Amino acid sequence: MNLIERVKNIMLSPKSEWEKIDAENLDMKIVIVSYVLPLTVVAAICAFIGYGFIGINVGMFKMRGINWGIYYALTALITPLISVVIAAYVVDMLAPSFGSEKNINKSASLVGFSYTPALVGSFLAILPMLGIIGGLLGLYGIYLWYLGLGPMKGTPDDKKIVYMLVTIIILIVTGIIVGGILSRILLPAFGLSMPGLSL
């Protein structure tokens, strides 16, 4: 699997790319290690540079320095990896309830490749003020997820939207929980505090 080609194709021609991904039947470990991990590493490097050297200085939000860079780099690296793994298992567990195929490898592919816009969007952390644009780019992943449900999970058309919404909500909640736990562990470890957040 060529990482750059896969990112380009899933973003620009998702329908045909989902068919290719389905035919590959990639193992979950390959999806995580060869696709999600490299993208999160790039995101972590961007976050380190962005918050370590550029930062944010708006009102009470003053975040800049090596400690902030390390904090955001670790968050950018760990949160997506854990979220994708948990979401893959949830998607697979719920599959029979939505007339879909129970197959953890295909569930991991659905989640991991649908997460592409969010991962690519997180590269914008290199300029922290553009972070919201990166977050908005992640919304495109919802469309990718919808397109992938048919080829990857065999989900009937009448169950796609509900299945997609349930699993995406779980992914969002998982990301918030993982991010919250990391904040409570990492912020004090680096002597940092988030404005408006009491630890």
Q: What is the pLDDT of residue 199?
A: 42
Between CA 199 and CA 184 the distance in angstroms is 6
pTM for the structure as a whole = 0.90
Is residue 60 classed exposed, middle or buried when 0-12, 13-18 and 19+ CB atoms within 10 A define those classes? Answer: exposed
Q: 141: which 2 tokens? A: 């992943």
The beta strand positions in 46-158, using DSSP E, are 56-58, 61-63
81-102 tens-digit pLDDT = 998 999 999 999 999 999 999 9
Q: What pLDDT shows up at residue 130?
A: 85
pLDDT on residue 195: 60
Instruction: Report the SS3 class of residue 191.
Output: coil
| pLDDT for position 175 | 80
The model's pLDDT over 108-140, given as tens digits with 9 standing for 90+, comes to 999 999 999 999 999 999 998 887 888 788 889
Q: Are 89 and 104 in contact (CB under 8 A)?
A: yes
Spans in the chain with pLDDT lower than 50: 197-199
